[in-house]
Amino acid sequence: MPDPTVPAAAEPAEFDVVGIGNALVDVIAHANEDFIAREALVKGSMTLIETERAVSLYKALGSAVEMSGGSAANTMCGVASFGGRAAYIGKVCDDDLGQVFGHDLRAVGITFRPGGPENDTPTGRCIIVVTPDAERTMNTYLGVSSLLCAPDIDAATVAAGKVLYMEGYLFDRDEAKEAFRTAARIAHAHGREVSLTLSDSFCVDRHRSDFRALVADEVDILFGNEDELTSLYEVTDFDEAVAMVRSDCALAVITRGASGSVIVTGDGVVSVPAEPVERVLDTTGAGDLFASGFLYGYTNGMSLPECGRLGSIAAAEVISHVGARPLVDLRKLV
Amino acid sequence: MPDPTVPAAAEPAEFDVVGIGNALVDVIAHANEDFIAREALVKGSMTLIETERAVSLYKALGSAVEMSGGSAANTMCGVASFGGRAAYIGKVCDDDLGQVFGHDLRAVGITFRPGGPENDTPTGRCIIVVTPDAERTMNTYLGVSSLLCAPDIDAATVAAGKVLYMEGYLFDRDEAKEAFRTAARIAHAHGREVSLTLSDSFCVDRHRSDFRALVADEVDILFGNEDELTSLYEVTDFDEAVAMVRSDCALAVITRGASGSVIVTGDGVVSVPAEPVERVLDTTGAGDLFASGFLYGYTNGMSLPECGRLGSIAAAEVISHVGARPLVDLRKLV
């Protein structure tokens, strides 16, 4: 009699990708380097902030624009923009920003599973300061998004996705780590693949051993950039990190900014060039959208170089304007 | 003994312009002509909608961006962007959108007087659909903004502005009409000038006799476009409308889209060309920003043609991008 938790073959999938992440609305403003220095921000990274700091930073900030964000949510929007089928699990409050977040997912055809309700904790927001060099510095007030826990993981949704995609940013709380393991086990029990993005080298630093264990135990496809990968393995040499990830995961996709990306498998390394961009205006979402193109291609049977090319196209589109989600139909750019 | 309500000369002014209007956050999305037809929207105009319609229209709408808006508030942002001193009176709720609205005014140095608190009625929002021809179609859920009434008018603020600027959009409720008259009387009692923008030809249609009385009794400077002015006087001929406004107001500033604008005084008519724009992306805020340039120039002692030129510069900037507030320092464009 077969083990019911390990089916012989996966059933037809309702979704190409199911994402889990911090559900955030971005508050985007432009500021110069003086502002970064004066507010003691860690340029180019993501810093978690509490209510008081969120209030004082927002007060110091110039006029802003509000747009739905969240790393894995941005990735799901990219998948949908390519024509893929995506679902998203993440927590919002029933306040203005929570309604905005839910609307903007559903408006592009994404199935949104917000998890169970919580009382009073507001929807999370990410204060993004874009400097004249197009670099983004993120300061995240997690709000209710960080309360994601195992019971919020809708098993049927996870089971219905070819690939589960999880965002490392969520990894700051034990409950979220447990939710990740729960989701990964559900996916694997249904013959699905599990992917993870490392999100941020500081986040990897804070939780290195947990990330290492998750990657070794559960992750089939790992996304990250150069800094995150070398931080994960505590090495300075990129090639050494590549060798280490090869023994951990079947597939790793490492972005290297303007130098493009490399796709690492047991068979070797595929290099993918970056797409040319006329003018880089805001690098927010570059990694998120790269992952969206890769995953859309991967779940639709394309070759690895082709998956990488779709990733580069999506990343190029999102860095050519302000905001972390595509402004055009990505399928038209292919 | 002099009449205390009519001082011989105005005291030094703390503000160049004090604006009163509907405090709204814009929800901006792109859609094609099919969407306009399917949702039976009145293209190019502003339609007031109730909660139920706001919910259904938002649901039908694609991904959106949230930015602070409101006609007179946009004008005050323009005045501030030129380097002028502005204050704003309008009602918001203490919800996410209300905080966004207040922040974005204060962030550019505008003194915000939100009036007395109200219970539970949410901050107003304007759902703006931008079509490929750059035309905007606005659907406004007024929320708490429409509850503005005479006690919300901060007399000291109105008294401290060289010019009071009132938005015709507010004119849909009797309480707001009374608030306008109260504000106008305070301004005149302190030797200030009173200006009004007609806002929308449908709004003028709905309240023509009240507008006519307000213009004749209290308005020193009238702003509007061609349609609004001919609607006000129920004539089809523009020159006839110009002759009629000349007998009502000391000064009228009439915009004519790409044909520029005309400034009407007792002495004659000054024509002002529009500034060239490489590509018009979103006409939202064109009239609001024209008024900002004119009022900044006017309150800083410039000639009428120069005031008109500043108006054209501000309008050209705002229609060259999405959103109804300037993205650059307007003083740098002069």
List average pLDDT for each run of 10 residues in chain B, which is 334 residues long: 48 94 97 97 94 96 97 98 98 96 98 88 97 96 95 97 96 91 97 96 93 95 97 96 94 95 95 96 96 98 98 97 94 94
CB A187 within 8 A of CB A181: no
User: For A184-205, what is the mean pLDDT?
Assistant: 96
pLDDT of B117 reads: 82
Which residues neighbour B91 within 8 Å (Cβ) at sequence distance 6 or greater? B23, B114, B115, B118, B144, B145, B147, B148, B152
pLDDT of B6 reads: 47
CB distance from B281 to chain A under 8 Å?
no
DSSP3 helix / strand / coil % (chain A, rounded to 5): 45, 20, 35
- Given A61, A62, A107, which is nearest B62 (Cβ)? A107
Q: List the one residue out of A288, A318, A300 whose CA is nearest residue A167.
A: A288
Measured in angstroms, the CA of B92 and the nearest CA of chain A are apart by: 13
Position A8 confidence tier, pLDDT thresholds 50, 70, 90: very low
CB distance from B323 to chain A under 8 Å?
yes
The CATH superfamily holding the domain B15-23+70-121+145-329 is Ribokinase (3.40.1190.20)
CB distance from A78 to chain B under 8 Å?
no
CB distance from B63 to chain A under 8 Å?
yes
The pLDDT tens digits of the residues spanning A272-286 come to 999 999 999 999 999
Which residue of chain B has the CA closest to A61? B107
Sheet holding B261-265, edge to edge: B111-113, B86-89, B15-20, B161-167, B193-197, B221-225, B251-255, B261-265, B268-272
Q: Where are the domains of chain B?
A: 15-23+70-121+145-329
Measured in angstroms, the CA of A59 and the nearest CA of chain B are apart by: 7
- Please name the residues between 179 and 208 in chain A that touch chain B, using a CB distance below 8 Å: none
Q: List the one residue out of B157, B162, B167, B190 whose CA is nearest residue B87.
A: B157
Report the distance separating Cα B81 and Cα B332, nearest Å. 9
The one-letter amino acid code at A61 reads: L
CB distance from B61 to chain A under 8 Å?
yes
Report the distance separating Cα B138 and Cα B60, nearest Å. 15
CB distance from A67 to chain B under 8 Å?
yes
pLDDT of B172 reads: 84
User: For A60-68, what is the mean pLDDT?
Assistant: 97
* Inter-chain residue contact A107 with B66, CB threshold 8 Å: no
pLDDT of A331 reads: 96
Residues in chain B: 334
CB A322 within 8 A of CB A297: no
Backbone angles phi, psi at A119, to 5 degrees: -90, 130
pLDDT above 50 for A5 = no
* Inter-chain residue contact A96 with B123, CB threshold 8 Å: yes
pLDDT above 50 for A233 = yes
Measured in angstroms, the CA of B333 and the nearest CA of chain A are apart by: 19
Interface pTM, i.e. ipTM: 0.90
β-strands A221-225, A193-197: how paired? Answer: parallel
* CATH for the stretch A71-121+146-333: 3.40.1190.20
Position A303 confidence tier, pLDDT thresholds 50, 70, 90: very high
CB distance from B68 to chain A under 8 Å?
yes
Count Cα neighbours of B177 within 13 Å in the Cβ-side half-sphere. 14
Backbone angles phi, psi at B322, to 5 degrees: -75, 135
pLDDT of A146 reads: 92
The pLDDT tens digits of the residues spanning A87-146 come to 999 999 999 999 999 999 999 999 999 988 887 899 999 999 999 999 999 999 999 999
* 3-class secondary structure, B333: helix
Q: List the one residue out of A123, A75, A129 whose CA is nearest residue A100.
A: A123
Which residues neighbour A142 within 8 Å (Cβ) at sequence distance 6 or greater? A22, A24, A48, A124, A172
| Residue of B27, B65, B95 for testing the chain A interface, max A β-carbons within 10 Å | B65
pLDDT of A218 reads: 95
Report the distance separating Cα B110 and Cα B104, nearest Å. 9
